[in-house]
């Protein structure tokens, strides 16, 4: 379904940096009302100044997205401040580098909590109010690694594959209620993501040649929300890797083992 962002009420997680921050600025420029969240309050405060200067009706709630009480607070703020919600952007995410053999169970637990359980449980809480919203949508920021896994990021790939599968199933379940589910699968993006990984062990992936900016990804994601696209892969290298994987999986296995990741 096509939608205009003007006047829509959007909740964006992970808005303190990178793709989430860029999406907030672009959505504000398009006239959306914003409820933002992340853990770093100073970053959210700075962003709020930028958004208010653009005339945007924006506010934030600080907290850890893995905390059920925080997720509940977000829904309550959407109800109390905006009388509902039209678009949920599940963007908050975290990574880890290093082989699975060297990793602890806690690393797997953290990545699945942030990248999979938190967005899925937030979606569960938000769906009943989205149903009453205007041109409602859930936009999940996934990764090209949700289509083709690579070495040294096993838990991250697993968490994004899980989010991908959930998004496909949910899309089919809620389409009759008029809710779009949009999956955005970026490649390497020049955000704070690499610096924020919870662990760096062994060979740290080399920086890709064709790195996108958070702004590039945010433009593509908001376009997908406007057009009601089911899924987008906002980079040619990411698209090429997925295509290679589908057409010639053994060559793709060789390529990711040799070059790491895109």
Ligand X SMILES: NC(=O)c1ccc[n+]([C@@H]2O[C@H](COP(=O)([O-])OP(=O)(O)OC[C@H]3O[C@@H](n4cnc5c(N)ncnc54)[C@H](OP(=O)(O)O)[C@@H]3O)[C@@H](O)[C@H]2O)c1
How many CB atoms are closer than 10 A to CB 258?
7
Q: Does 135 bind ligand X (CB under 6 A)?
A: no
Residue 156: active-site member: yes
Nearer to ligand X, 47 or 255 (CB): 47
Using CA atoms, how far apart are residues 5 and 39, in angstroms rounded to an integer? 26
Catalytic residue among 160, 203, 207, 258: 160
Using CA atoms, how far apart are residues 38 and 33, in angstroms rounded to an integer? 17
Joined together, the tokens standing for residue 134 give: 């205007």
Q: Does 91 bind ligand X (CB under 6 A)?
A: yes
Q: Does 38 bind ligand X (CB under 6 A)?
A: yes
Query: Interacting stretch for ligand X, rule CB under 6 A, among 46-54, 86-94, 130-138, 199-207?
Result: 86-94
Query: Interacting stretch for ligand X, rule CB under 6 A, among 3-11, 32-40, 97-105, 229-237?
Result: 32-40
Nearer to ligand X, 82 or 193 (CB): 193
Catalytic residue among 156, 177, 209, 261: 156
Using CA atoms, how far apart are residues 105 and 76, in angstroms rounded to an integer? 33
- Binding to ligand X by CB under 6 A, coded x per residue (else -) over 185-214, reads -x-xx-xxx--x-----------------x
Query: What three-state secondary structure class fits 198?
Result: coil
DSSP letter assigned to residue 115? I
Nearer to ligand X, 50 or 134 (CB): 50
Q: Give the one residue of 8, 56, 87, 94 binding ligand X; rule: CB under 6 A.
A: 94
Nearer to ligand X, 122 or 135 (CB): 122
Q: 4 vs 57, 130, 226, CA distance in Å?
A: 16, 16, 6
Using CA atoms, how far apart are residues 110 and 7, in angstroms rounded to an integer? 35
Q: Give the one residue of 16, 135, 167, 235 binding ligand X; rule: CB under 6 A.
A: 16
Nearer to ligand X, 167 or 189 (CB): 189
Q: Does 18 bind ligand X (CB under 6 A)?
A: yes
Q: What is the tally of helices (H) and strands (E) in the chain? A: 10, 7
- HEC string of 203-225 equals CCCCCCCCCECHHHHHHHHHHHH
Beta carbons of 44 and 50 less than 8 angstroms apart: no
Contact positions vs ligand X (CB under 6 A) = 14-20, 38-40, 43, 64-66, 91-94, 114, 141, 143, 186, 188-189, 191-193, 196, 214
Catalytic residues: 156, 160
């Amino acid at each position: 379904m096509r939608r205009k962002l003007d006047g829509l009420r959007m909740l964006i997680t992970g808005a303190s940096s990178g793709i989430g921050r860029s999406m907030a600025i672009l959505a504000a420029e398009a006239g959306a009302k914003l409820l933002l969240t992340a853990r770093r309050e100073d970053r959210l405060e700075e962003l709020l100044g930028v958004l208010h200067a653009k005339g945007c009706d924006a506010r934030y709630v600080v907290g850890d997205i893995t905390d059920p009480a925080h997720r509940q607070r977000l829904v309550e703020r959407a109800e109390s401040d905006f009388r509902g919600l039209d678009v949920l952007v599940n963007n908050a995410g975290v990574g880890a580098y290093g082989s699975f053999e060297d990793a602890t169970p806690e690393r797997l637990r953290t990545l699945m909590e942030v990248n999979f359980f938190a967005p899925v449980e937030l979606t569960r809480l938000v769906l009943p109010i989205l149903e009453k919203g205007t041109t409602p949508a859930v936009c999940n920021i996934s990764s090209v690694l949700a289509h083709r896994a690579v070495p040294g990021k096993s838990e991250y790939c697993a968490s994004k594959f899980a989010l991908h599968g959930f998004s496909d199933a949910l899309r089919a379940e809620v389409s009759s209620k008029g809710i779009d589910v949009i999956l955005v699968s970026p490649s390497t993006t020049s955000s704070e993501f690499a610096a924020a990984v919870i662990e760096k062990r062994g060979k740290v992936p080399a920086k890709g040649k064709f790195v996108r900016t958070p702004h590039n990804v945010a433009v593509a994601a908001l376009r997908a929300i406007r057009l009601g696209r089911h899924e987008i892969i906002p980079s040619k290298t990411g698209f090429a890797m997925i295509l290679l994987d589908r057409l010639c999986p053994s060559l793709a296995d060789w390529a990711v083992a040799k070059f790491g990741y895109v």
